[in-house]
A and B are shown apart, each in its own frame.
Chain A
């Protein structure tokens, strides 16, 4: 029964190979069936394993020893097995990845139908490869397998962002994503090396049992470096600028990778390493502060963006900040819960936005939309549900998860809570600004676009409906006891996640906190709808608004500080080192040979007398060497000793 776990990543891998190798000869229908079917198969197996884990706890399935170094550093062997660990945490993530992945695959079959078969096949191959890497990441039994998946999702992100490779801007965005990811990966690798050096193992179980023996410096260093990796992968300050640019990829890609799965890899990694983080208070503070700062910062930028996908991208960065805040204050379950609900409603929002873009024939500027409520009913309803969920209005799922995080934050430090509520208010505001300008009011686009408005096909709307349902009911597995619930998720995950939130706030405090946050969110919603539905004041921003619209000029800052000096340094290397020194020395070898040949040619003078003279001299030398060789050797010995 345990061996079933190998099927989970195997299906997408096979899907990738088939779609990738035969993409030129398969039809679009066949490609979609193979691609989506692979993920469906993984989902079914994940479901089976989920129930098994629920019933009898986690297990580990080892395939073979990946790295087997005897006598590593002081007669201790280093063994890194290629093994999968299925426990409660990975089971939850498996369901999220394969479930939402399957819905997005189905959605893509309709969204990408304009592509030619070979590009269609390429898309599905990359998507399957991505799911495969993500599954490796969450299934891994040790940090190295996780890292393999980590790199794989970075690669697939690059491939999929630059999917329409003929456009240069998209290629830059893909490169940017990959490079920033790589910076994070460096931190991750250093942390892994540190762990190997100190503990001689990378398997989670062994690390977690031995970690108490390390001193504070080691633990802080390792956790900080791991967090650097998470910063790159999950788009926290300062490595977040790639995520808005990554919207250059197709919308389903944005939904899957940059909303639901890849960006949550960082959260997964920290949640998995919660034992380490609980031992290091400094890192936890840093994580919380950076998470909070990111949440607020991204929310301010989202207030003034005019592209549907960019608003959603900054919203993702902001919500990820909330998740890190949760991790930082010790609410590991809360963070994982928020990952789950966020996956539901963010994927829903992205797919709905994709539906809008599809209907508007690839128009993405919300200033040219409006009044789409009547023409796109299903999309409108599902989008609205997603907005309400993300704003944190009960009883939708976002409320429960966000509130759990905010309550834990209050227990740690009321300021965190206050700022978190401010961020929540901004979230509600900009989301409903987006909703109002897109769906309410009058249509502001061209007549041509208005003519072509129609609801999307079933393959796109059914996933929307499913996700909307999940956004509505998904929160009910985490109802806190304050509200007379049992928080099934908490009890499910408790064997794995050390729950530190023994804050035990009084029930009255909790009610107060919840009430305040809901009230503020509702006020923001009403304000936004009022402002933007009748006469949308979407003229060009000025003053501080302009700064927000230009993303606080962070991209330009990075360009000046980092990119330009590097480029000029490489120019210098090219001109001086490469041309003069390396090329020069190679050329000079050739020139020297030429020169010496010309000089040597003068020996052949054609004068017989010269030749004879040289012959005579040679004879003299021969006589000397032949007859007097013993004395010459003695002389040479005296000279050179």
Chain B
């Protein structure tokens, strides 16, 4: 598979995630679209790691060249998990205070 296909696929998922962030008003859905974006990036990273491994494999059969890409994905997942837990805690607290999860209510950044 030429690498462009993976790039296009990842870009599509990423932009769908962006559209979701811009369109939805429910905070939790916005959060989920962020997760979607992260996953798109993860996919791309793995694809690139395999590409590099491919180019190195043709030279040396015992190389481990593309592994850092996949390890990076591993750490991204770690961070995503931590972020989700904290983020959801914040959302729960927001719900408790304002009885709503509409992000338009969070316009304290105004003025």
Direct contact of A and B (CB under 8 A): yes
Residues on A facing B (Cβ under 8 Å): 601, 604-609, 612-613, 616
- Which of the candidate stretches B59-67, B73-81, B86-94, B102-110 sits at the interface with the other chain? B102-110
Known: A607-B104, A608-B103. A616 touches B18 (CB 8 A): yes
Task: Write 5 A-B pairs (CB below 8 A) sorted by A numbering.
Answer: A606-B106, A606-B110, A607-B104, A608-B103, A613-B22
On chain B, the number of residues with a Cβ less than 8 Å from chain A's Cβ atoms is 12
Q: How far is it, in angstroms, between the C-alpha of A258 and the C-alpha of B41 when the chains are bound? A: 103
Q: How far is it, in angstroms, between the C-alpha of A613 and the C-alpha of B109 when the chains are bound? A: 16
Q: Which residues of A contact B7 (CB under 8 A)?
A: none
Q: Which residues of A contact B25 (CB under 8 A)?
A: 609
Q: Which residues of B contact A604 (CB under 8 A)?
A: 109-111
B21: interface (CB < 8 Å): yes
Q: Which residues of B contact A605 (CB under 8 A)?
A: 107, 110
Is B107 a contact of A609 with CB atoms below 8 Å? Answer: no
Q: How far is it, in angstroms, between the C-alpha of A605 and the C-alpha of B21 when the chains are bound? A: 17
Is A606 a contact of B22 with CB atoms below 8 Å? Answer: no
Q: How far is it, in angstroms, between the C-alpha of A613 and the C-alpha of B22 when the chains are bound? A: 6
Q: How far is it, in angstroms, between the C-alpha of A195 and the C-alpha of B110 when the chains are bound? A: 75
Q: Which residues of A contact B111 (CB under 8 A)?
A: 601, 604, 606
Q: Shortest Cβ distance from B106 into chain A, in angstroms?
A: 7
Output the nearest chain B residue to A611 by Cβ-Cβ distance.
Answer: B109
Is A609 a contact of B103 with CB atoms below 8 Å? Answer: yes
Output the nearest chain B residue to A610 by Cβ-Cβ distance.
Answer: B22
Is B22 a contact of A609 with CB atoms below 8 Å? Answer: yes
Q: Which residues of B contact A607 (CB under 8 A)?
A: 103-104, 107
Is A609 a contact of B110 with CB atoms below 8 Å? Answer: no
Q: Which residues of B contact A606 (CB under 8 A)?
A: 106-111
Q: Which residues of A contact B110 (CB under 8 A)?
A: 604-606
Q: How far is it, in angstroms, between the C-alpha of A604 and the C-alpha of B104 when the chains are bound? A: 13
Q: Which residues of A contact B104 (CB under 8 A)?
A: 607
Output the nearest chain B residue to A613 by Cβ-Cβ distance.
Answer: B22
Q: Shortest Cβ distance from A599 into chain B, in angstroms?
A: 14
Is B22 a contact of A612 with CB atoms below 8 Å? Answer: yes
Q: What are the nearest 5 A-B pairs in CB distance?
A: A606-B110, A606-B107, A606-B109, A613-B22, A609-B22
* With A605-B107, A608-B103, A612-B22 already in contact, 17 other A-B pairs whose C-beta atoms are closer than 8 Å: A601-B111, A604-B109, A604-B110, A606-B108, A606-B109, A606-B110, A607-B103, A607-B104, A607-B107, A608-B106, A608-B109, A609-B21, A609-B25, A609-B103, A612-B18, A613-B22, A616-B18
Q: Shortest Cβ distance from B91 into chain A, in angstroms?
A: 14
Q: How far is it, in angstroms, between the C-alpha of A604 and the C-alpha of B21 when the chains are bound? A: 19
Q: How far is it, in angstroms, between the C-alpha of A607 and the C-alpha of B25 when the chains are bound? A: 10
Is B109 a contact of A616 with CB atoms below 8 Å? Answer: no
Q: Which residues of B contact A601 (CB under 8 A)?
A: 111
In this complex, the member of A601, A608, A612 whose beta carbon has the largest number of chain B beta carbons within 10 angstroms is A608
Q: How far is it, in angstroms, between the C-alpha of A225 and the C-alpha of B18 when the chains are bound? A: 87
Q: Which residues of A contact B107 (CB under 8 A)?
A: 605-607
Q: How far is it, in angstroms, between the C-alpha of A406 and the C-alpha of B42 when the chains are bound? A: 123
Output the nearest chain A residue to B111 by Cβ-Cβ distance.
Answer: A604
Is B108 a contact of A612 with CB atoms below 8 Å? Answer: no
Contact with A616, one of B22, B103, B106, B108 (Cβ below 8 angstroms): B22
Q: How far is it, in angstroms, between the C-alpha of A616 and the C-alpha of B21 when the chains are bound? A: 11
Contact with A along B17-28 (1 / 0, CB 8 A): 010011001000
Q: Shortest Cβ distance from A203 into chain B, in angstroms?
A: 77
Q: Shortest Cβ distance from A278 into chain B, in angstroms?
A: 87
Q: Shortest Cβ distance from B14 into chain A, in angstroms?
A: 11
Q: Which residues of A contact B108 (CB under 8 A)?
A: 606
Output the nearest chain A residue to B108 by Cβ-Cβ distance.
Answer: A606
Q: How far is it, in angstroms, between the C-alpha of A606 and the C-alpha of B111 when the chains are bound? A: 8
Q: How far is it, in angstroms, between the C-alpha of A601 and the C-alpha of B110 when the chains are bound? A: 9
Q: How far is it, in angstroms, between the C-alpha of A639 and the C-alpha of B106 when the chains are bound? A: 45
Q: How far is it, in angstroms, between the C-alpha of A608 and the C-alpha of B107 when the chains are bound? A: 8
Q: Shortest Cβ distance from A191 into chain B, in angstroms?
A: 71
Output the nearest chain B residue to A608 by Cβ-Cβ distance.
Answer: B103
Q: Which residues of B contact A609 (CB under 8 A)?
A: 21-22, 25, 103
Q: How far is it, in angstroms, between the C-alpha of A607 and the C-alpha of B106 when the chains are bound? A: 7
Q: How far is it, in angstroms, between the C-alpha of A605 and the C-alpha of B107 when the chains are bound? A: 7
Q: How far is it, in angstroms, between the C-alpha of A613 and the C-alpha of B103 when the chains are bound? A: 15
Q: How far is it, in angstroms, between the C-alpha of A607 and the C-alpha of B108 when the chains are bound? A: 9
Q: How far is it, in angstroms, between the C-alpha of A601 and the C-alpha of B111 when the chains are bound? A: 8
Q: How far is it, in angstroms, between the C-alpha of A264 and the C-alpha of B108 when the chains are bound? A: 86
Q: Which residues of A contact B109 (CB under 8 A)?
A: 604, 606, 608
Q: How far is it, in angstroms, between the C-alpha of A609 and the C-alpha of B106 when the chains are bound? A: 11
Output the nearest chain A residue to B107 by Cβ-Cβ distance.
Answer: A606
Q: How far is it, in angstroms, between the C-alpha of A613 and the C-alpha of B104 when the chains are bound? A: 14
Q: Which residues of A contact B21 (CB under 8 A)?
A: 609, 612
Q: Shortest Cβ distance from A620 into chain B, in angstroms?
A: 11
Q: How far is it, in angstroms, between the C-alpha of A400 and the C-alpha of B47 when the chains are bound? A: 129
Output the nearest chain A residue to B106 by Cβ-Cβ distance.
Answer: A608
Q: How far is it, in angstroms, between the C-alpha of A609 and the C-alpha of B108 when the chains are bound? A: 13
Q: Shortest Cβ distance from A617 into chain B, in angstroms?
A: 10
Q: How far is it, in angstroms, between the C-alpha of A612 and the C-alpha of B103 when the chains are bound? A: 13
Q: Shortest Cβ distance from B34 into chain A, in angstroms?
A: 11
Q: How far is it, in angstroms, between the C-alpha of A612 and the C-alpha of B106 when the chains are bound? A: 14
Q: How far is it, in angstroms, between the C-alpha of A605 and the C-alpha of B104 when the chains are bound? A: 10
Q: Shortest Cβ distance from B52 into chain A, in angstroms?
A: 24
Q: How far is it, in angstroms, between the C-alpha of A387 and the C-alpha of B65 when the chains are bound? A: 131
Q: Which residues of B contact A616 (CB under 8 A)?
A: 18, 22
Q: How far is it, in angstroms, between the C-alpha of A608 and the C-alpha of B106 when the chains are bound? A: 8
Q: How far is it, in angstroms, between the C-alpha of A612 and the C-alpha of B25 when the chains are bound? A: 13
Q: How far is it, in angstroms, between the C-alpha of A612 and the C-alpha of B111 when the chains are bound? A: 17
Q: How far is it, in angstroms, between the C-alpha of A612 and the C-alpha of B20 when the chains are bound? A: 11
Output the nearest chain B residue to A601 by Cβ-Cβ distance.
Answer: B111
Q: Which residues of A contact B103 (CB under 8 A)?
A: 607-609
Output the nearest chain A residue to B109 by Cβ-Cβ distance.
Answer: A606
